[in-house]
Chain A
Amino acid sequence: MPSDPASRRFEQVVRAYANDLFRYLYWLCRDRALAEDLVQEAFARAWAAWESQRDEKAVKAWLFTIARHEFARLHERKALDVDPEADLEALVARGPSDPSLALDLRKAFALLPATYRDPLLLQVLAGLSSVEIAAALGTTEDNVNARLSRGRKALRALVDGEPASAPALRTNP
Chain B
Amino acid sequence: MNCLDFRRAVLSDPRQADGERLAHAASCAACRVFAERQADLDNRLFDAMRVEVPDGLADRVLVAQGPRRRRTPWIWALAASVVLATGVALLVPPGLAGERLAREAAMHAEEEKESFRARQVAAPGFLQAVLADQGVRLAVSMGEVTYARLCPLAGNTARHIVITTPDGPVTLFLLPTDDQRRRRAEIATGGMTAIAMPAGRGSIAIVAANPELARALERALAQA
Contact = CB atoms under 8 A, between A and B. Distances in A.
Interface of A: 1-2, 4, 6-7, 10-11, 14-15, 18-19, 22-23, 26-27, 31-34, 36-41, 43-44, 47-48, 50, 74, 104-106, 109, 120-121, 123-125, 130, 144-146, 148-149, 152-153, 155-156, 159, 166-167, 169-173
A1 B50 contact: no
A106 B66 contact: no
Contact of B67 (A2, A18, A27): A2
Nearest to A7: B67
A104 B205 CA distance: 46
A123 to B, nearest CB: 7
Contacts of B2: 171-172
Nearest to B8: A149
B162 to A, nearest CB: 11
29 contacts: A7-B68, A11-B62, A11-B66, A22-B57, A33-B114, A34-B114, A34-B117, A36-B60, A37-B119, A38-B120, A40-B61, A40-B120, A43-B65, A43-B66, A44-B64, A44-B65, A105-B45, A105-B47, A125-B46, A149-B8, A152-B38, A155-B41, A166-B34, A167-B34, A169-B3, A169-B4, A169-B30, A170-B30, A172-B27
Given A2-B68, A10-B67, A123-B13, A39 B45 contact: no
B41 A14 contact: no
Contacts of A38: 120
A13 to B, nearest CB: 10
Contacts of A15: 58
Given A14-B62, A148-B12, A148-B13, A23 B117 contact: no
B183 interface: no
A40 B11 contact: no
A120 B41 CA distance: 12
Contacts of A18: 53, 57-58, 61
A19 B57 contact: yes
Contacts of A34: 114, 117-118
Given A33-B118, A34-B117, A105-B44, A121 B61 contact: no
B179 interface: no
Interface string B102-133: 00000000000010011111110000000000
B123 A23 contact: no
A4 B74 CA distance: 16
A169 B34 CA distance: 11
Nearest to B11: A149
A130 B53 contact: no
B61 A37 contact: no
B147 interface: yes
Given A32-B54, A44-B65, A105 B38 contact: no
Nearest to B120: A37
B181 interface: no
Contacts of B11: 148-149, 152-153
